[in-house]
Amino acid sequence: GDSVTQMEGPVTLSEEAFLTINCTYTATGYPSLFWYVQYPGEGLQLLLKATKADDKGSNKGFEATYRKETTSFHLEKGSVQVSDSAVYFCALSDSGGYQKVTFGTGTKLQVIP
């Protein structure tokens, strides 16, 4: 079945540091790929997405590129802020009738001033 593997956390960075959170996936067919973010005490919200190979999703300075050859969708940001502290989930959605979504285990990011 489908699966998503993302790097273990927590990740602690100083403000303005470069962020990479690795995500790889296993899926049949042509899934859509997502990054969701969860701030403390809240539900998940979409950060960015890509729906086909070589697409780049971007939002709020974050970006990720759908790499079919390496089955990866790594999240990057050039300069993190304290307000970026949250848990980040990589996810894929199959193209079936229900669009079943498979989530990674989440990576907690803490940014210190």
Partner 1 sequence: NAGVTQTPKFQVLKTGQSMTLQCAQDMNHEYMSWYRQDPGMGLRLIHYSVGAGITDQGEVPNGYNVSRSTTEDFPLRLLSAAPSQTSVYFCASSAPGTGEKEQYFGPGTRLTVT
* Residues within the interface to partner 1 (CB under 8 A): 4, 31-32, 34, 36, 41-46, 49, 51, 89, 93-101, 103-106
> Which residue, 1 or 113, has its beta carbon nearer to partner 1?
1
Least Å distance, CB 72 to partner 1, is 18
**Least distance to partner 1, CB of residue 4, Å:** 8
Minimum separation from the CB atom of position 64 to partner 1 (A) = 14
In the chain, the DSSP E strands lie at 3-6, 11-14, 19-21, 23-26, 32-38, 44-50, 56-59, 62-65, 75-77, 86-93, 101-103, 107-112
- Taking the complex as a whole, the smallest distance from the CB of residue 37 to partner 1 amounts, in Å, to 11
Taking the least distance from each CB to partner 1, the nearer of 32 and 86 is 32
Report in angstroms the alpha-carbon separations of 25 from 74, 75, 79, 101.
10, 13, 26, 12
Q: Which is nearer to partner 1, 78 or 96 (CB)?
A: 96
